[in-house]
Amino acid sequence: MSATVEVRIIGGDLAEAMRQMRTWLDHRKSVPDAFRQSTCPGGLALHVEFRQPVDATAFAARFGGRVLGMPPVLDELARAPSAAGRLPRL
């Protein structure tokens, strides 16, 4: 099951944000399945698709994004430091 993360870049340096993301992905040896960008009010929205939900939640937590399609409460729990990249069992 894949998971897509949305990270919004509002008034920031896109090149620097992309560099930091690439460094993070390389360090974790994580390869996204897809990487798209679109405009959003005031900036850009990056959509990064991961094969593993644990990679998506870690990426979202590191870059202030959100995992799309996940209820907000689960997204917050998944990004909490105590979750350690694991989703709660329901």
Q: Does any domain span residue 89?
A: no
pTM above 0.95, yes or no: no
Mean pLDDT of all residues in 34-40: 92
Is pLDDT of 85 > 80? no
Q: Does any domain span residue 60?
A: yes
The pair of three-digit structure tokens given for residue 62, joined into one six-digit string: 């590191």
Q: Does any domain span residue 88?
A: no
Confidence of residue 88 (pLDDT cuts 50, 70, 90): very low
Is pLDDT of 45 > 70? yes
Q: Does any domain span residue 8?
A: yes
Is pLDDT of 12 > 70? yes
Distance (Å, whole) CA 83 – CA 19: 26
Q: What is the mean pLDDT of the chain?
A: 83
- Total domain count for the chain? 1
Distance (Å, whole) CA 85 – CA 21: 17
Point out which residues pair with 39 in neighbouring strands. Answer: 44
